[in-house]
Amino acid sequence: MIKRLLVVEDVEEVAQMLKIAFESQSVPEVRISLSSAEARIEISRRRPDFVLLDEVLPGESALDFLKELQTLKIPTLLMTGAKDYVGAPLPEGAIGRVLKPDWADLDGFIQSIIEKHLI
């Protein structure tokens, strides 16, 4: 079971909703970062067991950051808002890719991630 999850999402409202949703599903520690730069600081403070990474981030390619996470051997699931990315080949280092949720089905989205990737 994952104890420390880091959500890297540049839209603060989305990041906060994901944090609350994962906490409601008993993930003990959920932290958020709004950029890869913030995520690096969070990782240096307390290494997460798992990263949920938005595929489009400001300032730096999320795929470049994914390579760093791969060298640290932190399992990383990509999250995208672009439906056409879902079937695309996974970049090296990603364990999967999920489509950002329809907020009406946020609980189902979180439960699906937990069942497939966090247990």
Structure tokens at 80: 């995208």
So what's the pLDDT on residue 67?
94
Domain architecture of the chain: domains with CATH? 4-118 (3.40.50.2300)
Are the beta carbons of 30 and 23 closer than 8 angstroms? Answer: yes
Residue 119's pLDDT is: 56
The region that residue 26 occupies, defined by phi over 0 for left and psi between -120 and 50 for alpha, beta otherwise, is left
* pLDDT at 103 (0 to 100): 62
Give the pLDDT of residue 102. 65
- Residue whose structure tokens are 């280092």: 93
pLDDT at residue 59, as a whole number: 86
pLDDT mean for each 10 residues of the chain (119 residues):
91 93 89 96 96 90 92 91 76 84 67 71
